[in-house]
A and B are shown apart, each in its own frame.
Chain A
Amino acid sequence: MSPARRAVVLVALGLGVLAVAAFPWVAGNYPVKLLQEILIWGIFAMSLDLLMGYAGMVSFGHSAFFGIGGYVAALALKQSAGVVSALVLPALASGLAALVIGFFSIRVGGVYFIMLTLAFSQMFHAYTFQVAWLGAEDGLVGIPRPTVAGVSLATTRSFHLYLLVLAGLAALALWRIVRSPFGHVLRGIRENEARMEAVGYAVGRYKLLAFTVAGTLAGLAGALYAQFNGSITPDAFFWTTSGEALLMVIIGGVGTLGGAVLGAAAFILLQSLVSTYTERWMLILGLTFVGFVLFAPGGIVGALRGRLGLRA
């Protein structure tokens, strides 16, 4: 990238962040809620894209970590409403779960990986749906928002800035990861796993690490989602949660972190638009899924690249 172009990109990015940060001071309650949801789902979709788009590991059970993050945050915040409960414990718990599930799932490749991840996430759904200590079908409600560095996040504006900072940090971390040597190894594994193995990379360890990092970030998104809603239900684990994240990544463009956020934004705006007109949201969702897979496999970013002649 030439210095001039780099400057343009940085200025545009800075202005974008400022606009998002200032949004609650200029917009009404409902649009702000939508934007906050986009930030949370953006983190979730980016974490899935690290697996799907860079490591070539397509997980249909990413909701497992989203849900674990949400439930752990809910339980911990009810004990003490600090940063440890809100962010550290959920991230640790979901990272650990990803390590264990990943250990089993990466033993097999391709379609087996898809089926195993899907099955494991449904296991959590079945469990939380049944046990009384997690509120069974109704989930956990009345989750307080934390107080960070003496500032209560109970107000919309403080919570908004907290979300923006965390989403920014997650994006930055992922951006650094995919450009690091580790990220390049992941891309190598996506392109030709056998060759990477032959060249001497411990492919299994790289895949497990990628799975764990993605699971940790998904858990963070789940924890934020629980704080955003003040409640968490077994639905967080359901296959539709994984499906929505998959669709966001596909709409945006697989293998582009910015695309994942764009996809999350498109998805949530579409959902709020469609649900005011019709109850048939799942039908629209299915059609969008099928339509993008058939006609626009590159997603929004792919289409833009084709039109504007941008480089990959």
Chain B
Amino acid sequence: MAFAPDFFAQALNGLAYGVLLFLLSVGLTLIFGMLDVVNLAHGSFYMLGAYAGLTLIGATGSFWIALLLAPLLVGGIGALLERVCLRPLYGRPPLDQVLLTFGFIYLFEDLVKWIWGGRIRSIPPPDLFKGSVTLFGATIPSYRLFVIAFGLAVAVLLWLLIERTRLGAIIRAGVFDAEMTAGLGINIHRVFTAVFAFGAALGGLSGVIAGPIQSAYPAMGAGILIPALIVVVVGGLGSLKGSLAGSLIIGQAETFGKAWLPDSAMLIIYVVMALVVLLRPQGLFGRPLK
């Protein structure tokens, strides 16, 4: 294969993976910014999204209905988790909240095994994007192009939502100082639940989107959690810009690592992370620590 088309194909693969990571990590970063909780069960929402998508596609025959409904379902699960289990812990040391979400990784993974079985289930891409296209001499599955366009569209919508709407203003205020926001007459508890549910729904959305590329299997949630955590460490926890930049960097690092240094590919994203921690502990776009 010629160098330039190969390079181009890898870059697009990396971009598709980066966009997926963005959809996932943006929820993680929003939840942290608002609730001060590192939601270790975030990978589980991704997994639940993929499985909900699988079942909904089977039931309705339409990828698009699944893409709409599965995130709502996962968001509902997120809202329930926040309302029932996380809220009683807000007065306690932050560690307890992290430990709680850690426990939910086990719970969700085993529940999925129980309901859907342990084997890998492939998810077909929608009919519209079944083929592939040739761009600059490289053959690209058209579904990857859809993922990239869809992810970037979501990024723009998110930016508009947070920077240009009243709800976004409330969220930004809550991230800055939740207590003060409550003092201004905002029902901050309801906002907490809403943000957690929204983040969970984004996680679910990324799971549905990832389904046709990565299939669905029970360990996928814990597996994607680590790259997502690395993204927020690199980009800076609590920053949307950082989440986008971190995702694109890690997406490219992982994809090019696999192509060029197959023996040590899995180490590359850790090297990137270690470098960032060494040179800029708060991440590329994070607020300074302490």
Contacts and interface: CB of A to CB of B under 8 A. Distances in A.
Interface of A: 58, 60, 104, 107-112, 114-116, 118-120, 122-123, 126-127, 130-131, 239-240, 243, 246, 250, 280-283, 285-290, 293-294, 297
Interface stretch (B101-109, B152-160, B206-214): B101-109
A233 B243 CA distance: 34
20 contacts: A60-B40, A107-B281, A108-B289, A111-B32, A112-B233, A112-B237, A115-B229, A115-B233, A118-B229, A119-B229, A239-B105, A243-B106, A282-B106, A286-B103, A286-B110, A288-B103, A289-B106, A290-B85, A294-B85, A294-B89
Contact of A280 (B114, B270, B278): B114
Interface residues of B, number: 43
B102 A246 contact: yes
Contacts of A240: 106
B60 to A, nearest CB: 29
Nearest to A101: B274
B116 to A, nearest CB: 14
Contact of A107 (B105, B107, B237, B278): B278
Given A109-B290, A246-B99, 18 more contacts: A60-B102, A107-B277, A111-B32, A111-B98, A114-B38, A115-B229, A115-B230, A115-B232, A116-B233, A119-B226, A123-B266, A283-B111, A286-B106, A286-B110, A288-B103, A289-B99, A293-B103, A294-B85
Contact of B106 (A115, A116, A119, A283): A283
Contacts of B278: 104, 107
Contacts of B85: 290, 294
A268 B226 CA distance: 27
B61 interface: no
Nearest to A239: B222
A247 to B, nearest CB: 8
Which 9 A-B pairs rank lowest in CB-CB distance, beginning with the nearest?
A289-B103, A286-B107, A286-B106, A282-B110, A283-B110, A126-B266, A290-B103, A115-B229, A111-B38
A293 B232 contact: no
B102 A289 contact: yes
A250 B108 CA distance: 20
A222 B290 CA distance: 35
Given A282-B106, A286-B107, A111 B266 contact: no
Q: Which of B88, B106, B273, B290 gathers the greatest number of chain A CB atoms within 10 Å?
A: B106
